[in-house]
Structure 1
Amino acid sequence: MQYRKLGDSDLNVSVITFGAWAAGGWMWGKTERSQAVDAIRSAYDQGVTSIDTAPIYGQGTSEEIVGEAIKDIPRDQVQILTKFGMRWDTSRGDFFFASKDNSGKDMDIYKYAGKESVIKECEDSLKRLKTDYIDLYQIHWNDSTTPIIETFEAVASLIEQGKVRHAGVCNYTAAQMAEAEKAVKLVSNQIPFSMVNKKVEDETVPYCIANNKSVLAYSPLERGLLTGKIKPGQKFQEGDHRSTNRFFTEESILKTNAFLEKIKPLADEKGATLAQLVLKWTIERPGITIALAGARDATQSVQNAGAAALNLSTEEITFINSALSEI
């Protein structure tokens, strides 16, 4: 496993970081809790020391699973990355979207990051994670009803108290990052990035490179699309958000699979899966610090971890990029 620092901090994270959204079940169909715990522990055994979660993932379920998975691991041997700012238990802030919880009950999601909410969310997360500090605390989405300065003054206070080590953001523009830095030093921005979704390279990634901020790429496998396992006519479990996602239309699946067929011989040559090849390409992309990779079971998490050990030459990366340009 490789490890990289976040920004100019002292926080070293594994280049393949365990993404625990699916572990919480919410929007992914049901998840078997013990399998999710095993997935995290198996990833750790392969050197994946960093875990990214959030309260909204299963409305606390994902954080509880992470807490269970790491309870016997020395705390300084793992890095907990969690978030705040997506509330399902209040109607304050920006209405985001209507959803259903893991039991099928209707709920409304709000983006809210007022000072008192940030403090409350941190305390709740610490309890669920069974820890006394969070390594990286990230706002999940911008809340337009709360001044960014107010939000990050609250985070700065949590850092002073020792409850948070470092501040980060998710889904922030370059301008929003600059505003947040008036209150606290940021080390990272977690943004969507994959072979088929590279929009952030227009502005946000260049800003992060210029200002020494790490980029945490989420959905690098585009929610499973880039594994090669999704076929036209794919049926998803009830509650799985991919059933209505634009990347999972028949046309998108066919185009993506045609591209994957072109690069599959390279994966085969290296004794790797397509997912491993895609993850390695991602962490070799300029500006990308780590790739978040989710897993529903131990087999998937071990395979994801294996991506870090692959070697890609400049010529091989050029070949992949050439094939990608034809999508």
Structure 2
Amino acid sequence: MEYRQLGQSDLQVSAITFGAWAIGGWMWGGTERKDAREAIRASIDQGVTSIDTAPIYGMGTSEEIVGEALEGIARDKVQVLTKFGLTWEGSKGQFYFKSKDNSNKDIDIYKYAGKEHVIKECEDSLRRLRTDYIDLYQIHWADETTPIEETFEAVLRLQEQGKIRAAGVCNYNAAQMERAESVLSLASNQVPFSMVERTIEKELVPYCIENKKGILAYSPLQRGILTGKIKPGHQFGEGDHRPGTKFYQPDNIARINAFLGLIKPLAETKNATLAQLVIRWTIERPGITVALVGARDAGQAVQNAKAIDIKLAPEEIDFINKHLHALTLV
């Protein structure tokens, strides 16, 4: 495994980090707790030391599973990354969207990061994670009803109390990051990034490089489509959110698969899967510190971690980028 400093913090994280959204079951069509625990432990056996979760992933389920999986593992050998600022309890803050929990009950999701709520969320996460500190505490989405400065005063207090080691943001633009920075130093920003979703390269990546902030890329496999396993006509399970997204429209599934067909021979020469090639490409991109990759069982977890073993020469990266440049989605 490769380990990278997260911004200017004292956190060293694994370049491939376990993303624990899917194991929470929420919006992914259920979860199997035993398989999820084994996936986390298999990742750790492969040198993955960083686990990224959030309360909203299954309304606490993902954090609970992470806590269970890390029982008996020396706490200083892993980095626990979690989030705050999305709530399904109450109606304070900014309404986000309607959803269902894992028992199919209707819930309303709100963005809320008021000072006292942030403190409460941290305590709840510590309990579910079975730990007394969080390595990286990240706001999940901006809450327009609460001043950023107020939110990060709460985060600063948590840092001073030793309950978190470093602070981060998710889905923030550069201007929002600067406001948070007026209160405390940020380690990182967690944002969507993949071969087919590169919006952050326009403004955010240059900002983070210039200001020495880490970037955690989530959905680097674009929620599975860049594995090459999802073909036109794919049947998704009940509760799976992906068919409603841009990348899973029939024309785009076909176009993405055509692109993957062009780079698959390169993966084969390296004895690698398409997913492994895509993960390695992602962590080679300028400014990208970490690729967050989910797995729902031990086999997937091991395959993801082994992407680190792939080496890409400059001309091979150029070959991928040439075909990527020609890919247009509708």
TM-score, normalized by the shorter chain, greater than 0.5: yes
Q: d(CA) in 2 for partners of 1:90 and 1:184?
A: 28
Matching residue of 1:218 = 218
Matching residue of 2:227 = 227
Q: d(CA) in 2 for partners of 1:233 and 1:105?
A: 29
Matching residue of 1:319 = 319
Instruction: Give the counterpart letter for 2:307 in structure 1.
Output: A
Q: d(CA) in 1 for partners of 2:97 and 2:90?
A: 13
- Matches for 1:1-327 after TM superposition, within 5 Å: 1-327=1-327
Q: d(CA) in 1 for partners of 2:247 and 2:216?
A: 21
Instruction: Give the counterpart letter for 2:295 in structure 1.
Output: A
Residue 72 of structure 1, CA deviation: 1.1
Instruction: String of CA shifts for 1:135-193, please: whole Å, max 9, x gaps.
Output: 00000000000000000000000000000000000000000000001111101000000
Q: d(CA) in 2 for partners of 1:61 and 1:269?
A: 40
Number of residues of Structure 1 aligned to a counterpart in Structure 2: 327
Instruction: Give the counterpart letter for 1:28 in structure 2.
Output: W
Q: d(CA) in 2 for partners of 1:44 and 1:11?
A: 17
Q: d(CA) in 2 for partners of 1:148 and 1:9?
A: 21
Q: d(CA) in 2 for partners of 1:35 and 1:284?
A: 30
Matched position secondary structure for 1:288: coil
Q: d(CA) in 2 for partners of 1:72 and 1:234?
A: 40
Instruction: String of CA shifts for 1:46-72, please: whole Å, max 9, x gaps.
Output: 000100000000000000000000111
Q: d(CA) in 2 for partners of 1:82 and 1:184?
A: 18
Q: d(CA) in 1 for partners of 2:292 and 2:277?
A: 14
Instruction: String of CA shifts for 1:210-258, please: whole Å, max 9, x gaps.
Output: 0000000000000001000001011111110102111101111000000
Instruction: Give the counterpart letter for 1:275 in structure 2.
Output: A
Residue 266 of structure 1, CA deviation: 0.4
Which runs of 5 or more residues in structure 1 are unaligned?
A: none
Instruction: Give the counterpart letter for 2:131 in structure 1.
Output: T
Q: d(CA) in 2 for partners of 1:247 and 1:90?
A: 33
Instruction: Give the counterpart letter for 2:179 in structure 1.
Output: E
Instruction: Give the counterpart letter for 1:71 in structure 2.
Output: E
Instruction: String of CA shifts for 1:232-287, please: whole Å, max 9, x gaps.
Output: 01111111010211110111100000000000000000000000000000000000
**Between the two proteins, what is the percent identity of the paired residues?**
69
Residue 9 of structure 1, CA deviation: 1.4
Residue 309 of structure 1, CA deviation: 1.1
Matched position secondary structure for 2:289: strand
Residue 326 of structure 1, CA deviation: 1.1
Q: d(CA) in 2 for partners of 1:256 and 1:72?
A: 42
Matched position secondary structure for 1:135: strand
Matched position secondary structure for 2:315: helix
List, as ranges, runs of 4+ consecutive aligned residues in structure 1 with deviation greater than 4 Å. Answer: none
Q: d(CA) in 2 for partners of 1:145 and 1:103?
A: 30
Which runs of 5 or more residues in structure 2 are unaligned?
A: none
Q: d(CA) in 2 for partners of 1:144 and 1:223?
A: 27
Q: TM-score, normalised by structure 1?
A: 1.00
Instruction: Give the counterpart letter for 1:242 in structure 2.
Output: R
Instruction: String of CA shifts for 1:274-303, please: whole Å, max 9, x gaps.
Output: 000000000000000000000011110100
Instruction: Give the counterpart letter for 2:166 in structure 1.
Output: H
Instruction: Give the counterpart letter for 2:202 in structure 1.
Output: D
Q: d(CA) in 2 for partners of 1:126 and 1:32?
A: 22
Instruction: Give the counterpart letter for 1:62 in structure 2.
Output: S
Q: d(CA) in 2 for partners of 1:132 and 1:213?
A: 26
Q: d(CA) in 2 for partners of 1:110 and 1:283?
A: 32
Instruction: Give the counterpart letter for 1:249 in structure 2.
Output: Q
Instruction: Give the counterpart letter for 2:75 in structure 1.
Output: R
Residue 130 of structure 1, CA deviation: 0.2
Q: d(CA) in 2 for partners of 1:287 and 1:188?
A: 11
Q: d(CA) in 2 for partners of 1:240 and 1:157?
A: 38
Give the alignment's Cα RMSD to 1 decimal: 0.4
Instruction: Give the counterpart letter for 1:227 in structure 2.
Output: T
